[in-house]
Structure 1
Amino acid sequence: MQDREQLGHYKIRSIIGMGGMGEVYLADDMRLNRRVALKILPAALSDDQERLGRFEQEAFTTSALNHPNLLTVYEFGKEDGIHFLATEFIEGETLRDKLNGGNTNFYEVLDIAQQIAFALSAAHAAGIIHRDIKPENVMIRPDGIVKVLDFGLAKLTEEKTEDIESQARTHRQVISQAGMILGTVAYMSPEQAEGKGIDAQTDIWSLGVILYEMLTGRMPFAGATIFETVINILTKEPKPIGELNAKTPLSLEHIVNKSLRKEKAERYQTAKDLLIDLKSLQKRLEFEAELERSSPPNKQTDGKLQFSEANVTEKISIVHLHNFSAEFTPIVGREKESAEIRALLQRADVRLVTMTGVGGTGKTSLAKVVARQMLTEFTDGVFFVELAAIKNPDLVVSTIAQPLGVKEAGGKPILEVSKDYLRDKQMLLVVDNFEQVVEAAPQIAELLSAANRLKILITSRSLLRLSAEREFIVPPLSLPSESKYISVDELSNYEAIKLFVEQARNTKPNFTLSQQNAQTVAEICNRLEGLPWR
């Protein structure tokens, strides 16, 4: 083919690439006077039904898509026994070339990732899974436009099963062609590496690998051999991005980590969800940059909306929206409970957690601590809603809307406006003192139903009785059972005693727990039944 000057109405100019599916040439379309990329399956391989089938599949799947970040197909045909695919010619470089050049900055990482996610979202909406997302299949034009290429391994999602022997052949090919497709293996999802059924989340995993590589300069699961790489994909966790690139914002690290969850249920469910998080992060960056330019140095924020700086990248702070006051007093003795509540909220199948317990157990303080600890995990913010003064259930949604800045508009009910606002938000709402307005529970259910990325943490003396609800019972602080016979050192290990000592020092800084006052302190704490009393 390299000696040929013309194929049909295409004039061959030069070879620009080679791969497992054949050769790619730069050519001129003499009918329409335009430059094209001509992918050719050599005549010698036309009798290979597997390769011919993949070649035809690429033509059909790619031509079914019309998207600015996907390659445009002009023609699929056969000339003189040679099958060819004519597509738009993209000037620029592959993402692999760009990474090898070492000139990718943080803004480009976000931009490239968003464009790939946008392309995948469109392909998945058309029922097409790419299955081979890697830097070699991503082109970047000089104007920054990203194009996802090579749908030769693409699969229609409606194909529910795959031939077992075909899977076995694939695995034998992986082992026998180590030098050629090692890179592809490194981007495989766990389910793909095991030869199991795949869906859109396979492409999401591969994009997560690309993001990790762009941020750290290394592969998250690379091994010395293909076998070791596959084992790492299936069993190992990647080294934290922050240890390899300290400038990476925690929010972005969380996005990458979520893309690389081995359990599909814990991964992003759609490329659109991933795209939304990437866009939210970019907006947060732009907002903070503008805030930094317009605010005088060291100016203190005095409004209700506060920001928590999580990291700094190229002089721009990544911020997390919340409405907590700047003053914060940590609570004592609740490390176990706060960790358990966080673990519940981090689960993909948990949307609503209700913290119950008798009055005085410190539910509110504990909820605030958990909320602060999770600021980096919700790209659209964490907001505290106080219902102590609310007795009318009809006012619950409007009270929730206040810290979000949501207001009624155009005569539309506040519940509907709030649902519209929250629909695409990845947010945590902490709603305090719900026991007096439990009749508003159906409104909470409506908010959760409308916004599938919203999570709610509620404090209440009683449950809301919603199907999605998970209860967390807040116990009293631990107490000594026989205080007379416990040493000061042992006594000081009890959570209730620790809290008493901390509170006493707020009034009397020199206060210490001693053998002389130990029994009295223990008796006071026992009378309070381990309640934090604050």
Structure 2
Amino acid sequence: MFGPRRFRLLQKLTSGEPAELYLAEDRHLLRQLTLKLLHANTNYDPLAAKLLEREARLLARIDHPNIAAVLDLGLLGSELCMTLQAVGVDGLDDWVEGGQRSQAQLLAVLRQAGQGLAAAHAVGVVHGDLIPARVRIDRLQHVRLVDFERARDLAPEPGAWERQGPPLPIDRNYAAPEARETGRRDQLSDQYSFCVLAWEALTGRRPPSDADHVAGPWAYRREPAYKVLARGLSANPTARWPDMEQLLDALERAGTGRRFF
């Protein structure tokens, strides 16, 4: 149990179901960290508490600099909370809008986000609801992914608890077609979500709905990154890149020495 005055909340970062993410100050260790707190109306909901505990266990499996590492799980007063290493106050969308970002900066940030996603996939964890707000960027332009409460565990431990019933809602603006239509979420649906937010960061607009079709906009088809992201945006999951590493390598090659779009 954490003492009632252990942490001072500094800024809300994300708000999801069933918890909220805050930047906080640890008064004992004199450092900043991230707190994930259950909503006030779910503090005593056993299901919400199990979801937070499950998220902490999944994060403990991932050891990568682009994933916010879990530090501890415990009670803060009567509230269950998870502590994680500090993350940036800006989500990807706010960071892009906050200044003139060069192509090199955009590529570096997107590559970090993709590497974090690849690291999660390598240990059987699918994020399941990747959106710009969950790509946190600090003042040194270091990226950490957060909010794995909707994650799918592809390699569960024997007897591990899994939520039953309807899945938690996801952001349909970034979800793959199969995730929107059937609830299927895997590494390839994560890849689709990554390509949506990458396209948005690089162009300032959402990808056209026919980005993966031959009939796509000619203005985009002439550019070097078009085929890379369009493949990841394929409606057919099997037509996407085999994994995030191959997508990231292709995106880096496409961006060498040229402007995107």
Aligned to 1:38, which of 32, 35, 38?
Answer: 35
Length-normalised TM-score, structure 1: 0.43
Amino acid in the other structure paired with 1:116: A
Deviation at 1:243, TM superposition (A): 2.7
In the alignment, which of 200, 204, 219 is matched to residue 191 of structure 2?
204
Change (3 A) 1:255 1:76: same
> Does the alignment pair 1:97 with 2:94?
yes
Q: Which one of 7, 14, 38 corresponds to residue 10 of structure 2?
A: 14
What is the distance in 1 between the residues matched to 2:68 and 2:217? 31
User: Within 5 Å, which residues of 2 pair with 1:156-235?
Assistant: 156-158=153-155, 165-167=165-167, 170=168, 184-220=171-207
After TM superposition, list the pairs within 5 Å mapping 1:13-92 onto structure 2: 13-20=9-16, 21-92=18-89
How far residue 209 of structure 1 moved from its aligned partner, in angstroms, is 0.4
In structure 2, what is the equivalent of residue 250 of structure 1? 223
- Residues 85 and 263 of structure 1, relative CA distance in 2, 3 Å threshold: same
Compare CA radii of gyration and give the structure with the larger one. 1
Contact 2:177 2:235 survives alignment (8 Å): yes
Q: Deviations over 1:213-263 (max 9, x none)?
A: 122212226xxxxxxxxxxxxxx414947636xxx9733111000100111
Task: Trace 1:288-437 onto structure 2 (pairs within 5 A).
Answer: 313=259
CA shift digits 1:338-365 (9 cap, x unpaired): xxxxxxxxxxxxxxxxxxxxxxxxxxxx
Q: Is the 8 A contact 2:188 2:243 kept in 1?
A: yes
Residue equivalent to 2:159 = none
Alpha-carbon distance in structure 2 between the residues aligned to 1:195 and 1:43: 31
**242 and 32 in structure 1: CA distance in 2 versus 1, 3 angstrom threshold:** farther
SS across alignment from 1:313? coil
Q: Percent identity?
A: 25
Unmatched runs of 5 consecutive residues or more in structure 1: 1-5, 175-180, 222-235, 286-311, 315-534
- Aligned-pair CA distance for 1:48: 2.8
Rounded to whole Å, the distance in 2 between the matches of 1:66 and 1:185 is: 29
Greater helix fraction, Structure 1 or Structure 2: 1
Query: The residue matched to 1:198 in structure 2 has which SS?
Result: coil
Is the CA contact (8 Å cut-off) linking 1:212 and 1:241 kept in structure 2?
no
Q: Give the counterpart letter for 1:10 in structure 2.
A: R
Q: Distance in 1 between matches of 2:115 and 2:137?
A: 14
Distance 1:135 1:47, change over 3 A: same
- Structure 2: distance between partners of 1:200 and 1:86: 26
Alignment check: 8 A CA contact 2:93 2:201 kept: no
Residue 281 (structure 1) aligned with residue 254 (structure 2): yes
Q: CA deviation at 1:16?
A: 2.4
- SS state at 2:109 partner: helix
**Amino acid aligned to 2:236:** E
3-state SS of 2:73 partner: strand
Partner of 2:240: 267
Counterpart-to-counterpart distance in 1, 2:253 and 2:148: 29
Taking structure 2 as the reference length, the TM-score comes to 0.83
Cα separation, 1, equivalents of 2:60 and 2:163? 26
Q: 1:32 to 1:242 in 2, by over 3 A?
A: farther
The answer on whether the counterparts of 1:69 and 1:146 sit within 8 Å (CA) in structure 2 is yes
Q: Does 1:140 align with 2:116?
A: no
CA contact (8 A) 2:51 2:163 kept: no
2:44 aligns to what SS in structure 1?
coil
Once residues 123 and 144 of structure 2 are traced to their aligned partners in structure 1, the CA distance between those partners, rounded to angstroms, is 17
Per-residue deviation at 1:84? 0.6
Structure 2 residue runs of 5 or longer lacking an equivalent are: 157-161
CA contact (8 A) 2:111 2:248 kept: yes
CA deviation after TM superposition for structure 1 residue 264, in Å: 1.2
Residues 82-113 of structure 1, C-alpha deviations (whole Å, 9 max, x = no match): 10111122244211102334633322232222
Post-superposition, which runs of at least 4 consecutive aligned residues in structure 1 deviate over 4 A? 6-9, 162-165, 239-242
Q: Partner residue of 1:490?
A: none
Q: Which amino acid aligns with 2:234?
A: R
Are the equivalent residues in 2 in contact too, given 1:242–1:253 (CA < 8 A)?
A: no
Distance 2:166 2:8 in 1: 36
In structure 2, do the counterparts of structure 1 residues 242 and 134 end up closer, same or farther at CA, with 3 Å as the change threshold?
Answer: farther
Query: 1:8: how far off?
Result: 4.5
Q: Is the 8 A contact 2:93 2:133 kept in 1?
A: yes
Instruction: Tell me how large the CA RMSD over aligned residues is.
Output: 2.9
The amino acid of 2:259's aligned partner reads T
Q: Letter of the aligned partner of 2:239 in structure 1?
A: E
Question: In 2, Cα distance between the equivalents of 1:135 and 1:209?
Answer: 10
- In 2, Cα distance between the equivalents of 1:18 and 1:249? 37
- Alignment-derived partner of residue 123 in structure 1: 120
Alpha carbons 2:88, 2:143 under 8 Å: kept: no
Sort the Cα spacing of 1:197 and 1:103 in 2 relative to 1 into closer, same or farther, 3 A. Answer: same
Q: CA deviation at 1:156?
A: 0.7
